[in-house]
Amino acid sequence: MTIAKDDRLSTLEQSIAGLLERLYPICRSITGPGVRETLRILSQVHPIAVTEVATGTRVFDWTVPRERSVREAWIKDATGRTIVDFKAHNLHVLNYSAPIEGRFSLEELRPHLYSLPQMPDAIPYRTSYYNDNWGFCLTDRQLQTLDEGPYDVRIDSSLAQGSLTYGEIVLPGEVEDEILISTHICHPSLANDNLTGMALAIHLADRMSKVRRRHTWRFLFTPVTIGSITWLALNEGRARRVRHGLVITGVGDKSPFIYKRSRHGTASIDRAAARVLAQSGEAHSLIDFYPYGYDERQFNSPGFDLPVGRFSRASHGDYPEYHTSADNLDFVRPASVVRALDLVEAITTTVDRDRVYVSRNPKGEPQLGKHGLYRKVAGQTGQQTDELALLWVMNCADGKHSLADMAEKAGLPVERLEAAAGRLEAHGLIEPA
């Protein structure tokens, strides 16, 4: 399966299309070789450090599960004809299915068959991570054609002592305070959820590796839930340094953007996302935190309470293609991912640059003219200096307001306040708090 190349793609869009096409066929799960292969391919855009955590490791209330791999899985009818085959589509096997081999009537098989009557041509994505179960997923149209059987069934999979794999990129900054970007890497052949999240995150890491950074930037590529919990359990000290964060998922479809606020609701990242989306002219909605969804649940758990929001287009469960074989390469567009990448970059670089200042001249306004910061002739229009921005920064340089806060109060673009703060700092009138 390939990405529709109906438009002329930019170099970046081509890179994203190529990545999605290579990642799509891989059978991923919360552990196993598919995750390692995925990280290896993503590493070709920017190197990822891979960590393996042994099966059985306790991580808060959870335990790292046995590692899973599937070699083959099929259902054959009485004539020996293969009617469902894992090799044709990896969604055909219940994710984390236990191995099975035997002959079953349709009646015996039915509790192990999953289909979607409301989408008769789509194969559903079903998982059974933490219960021993076996099963197949197939289109409802196919299920309806099955006779009473018997059927020969084989799932040659292993659930064995091994490890959970996650990937990490750390880009050191001027300070140890961190910006966290997290995305999940455990879904098999599903494109929007979440190959597009991975494609965005790895390209953002590559971009950020080439520019000056104030914060230390950390990118996490983890299996959903158990992966972020494992990272948090093994990195509690580092997690405490996260000042701003985003979970990225589902950015390749055409629907409007959704920003889900952190638990705080008014964290810098929440306000930066609201501002960037408002200025973007894109259709979008802002929603409050709720304890369901993706890994924002773990980062926002009360014991961590990290200011981590979630950036996506269509939300989980809200589109018919979600968690079905219809979430495929036809459903996503590289241009949608690129637009999301640009917006996420704008949001995260805003919080990266955001600063709090203290005035060194807090009693009365400074005499700007004396410092060469005021227009030469009072009353003239079209002045060279941005006096309004200078006055806002001086007034808000109280150790409490960040540049983003000032931008909100002043109704001015944050870039103007940044430029003003830079000049005031250069003239010794303010200093970083």
| Site residues (vs Zn ion, CB under 5 A) | 193
Residue in 133, 110, 112, 113 with CA at minimum distance from that of residue 123: 113
Q: How far is the CB of 57 from Zn ion (least distance, A)?
A: 24
Residue in 125, 173, 294 with CA at minimum distance from that of residue 226: 294
Comparison of 312 and 359: residue with beta carbon closer to Zn ion: 312
Q: How far is the CB of 192 from Zn ion (least distance, A)?
A: 9
The Cα-based distances of 356 to 159, 353, 412 in angstroms read 51, 10, 17
Q: Can you state the angle between helices 414-426 and 403-410, rounded to 10 degrees?
A: 120
Comparison of 193 and 253: residue with beta carbon closer to Zn ion: 193
Q: Are strands 257-260 and 284-287 parallel, antiparallel or unpaired?
A: parallel
Report how far residue 334's alpha carbon sits from residue 235's, in angstroms, rounded to the nearest whole number.
34
Comparison of 67 and 193: residue with beta carbon closer to Zn ion: 193
Comparison of 153 and 185: residue with beta carbon closer to Zn ion: 185
CA neighbours closer than 13 Å in the CB half-sphere of residue 209: 14
DSSP 5-40: --SPPPHHHHHHHHHHHHHTT----SSSHHHHHHHH
Comparison of 19 and 314: residue with beta carbon closer to Zn ion: 314
Residue in 354, 321, 14 with CA at minimum distance from that of residue 189: 321
Q: How far is the CB of 357 from Zn ion (least distance, A)?
A: 42
For Zn ion, which residue has the nearest CB? 193
Comparison of 140 and 193: residue with beta carbon closer to Zn ion: 193
Q: How far is the CB of 193 from Zn ion (least distance, A)?
A: 4
Comparison of 139 and 196: residue with beta carbon closer to Zn ion: 196
Residue in 206, 87, 205, 216 with CA at minimum distance from that of residue 154: 87
Q: How far is the CB of 141 from Zn ion (least distance, A)?
A: 24
**Dihedral sign for Cα atoms in the order 304, 168, 20, 15:** positive
DSSP 295-316: THHHHTSTTT---EEEEESSPT
CB atoms within 10 A of CB 177: 14
SS (H, E, C) 372-422: CCCCCCCCCCCCCCCHHHHHHHHHHCEEEEEHHHHHHHHCCCHHHHHHHHH
Q: How far is the CB of 323 from Zn ion (least distance, A)?
A: 6
Comparison of 193 and 295: residue with beta carbon closer to Zn ion: 193
Q: How far is the CB of 313 from Zn ion (least distance, A)?
A: 14
Read off φ and ψ for residue 211, nearest 5 degrees.
-125, 165
Comparison of 193 and 270: residue with beta carbon closer to Zn ion: 193
Q: How far is the CB of 185 from Zn ion (least distance, A)?
A: 11
Q: How far is the CB of 300 from Zn ion (least distance, A)?
A: 18
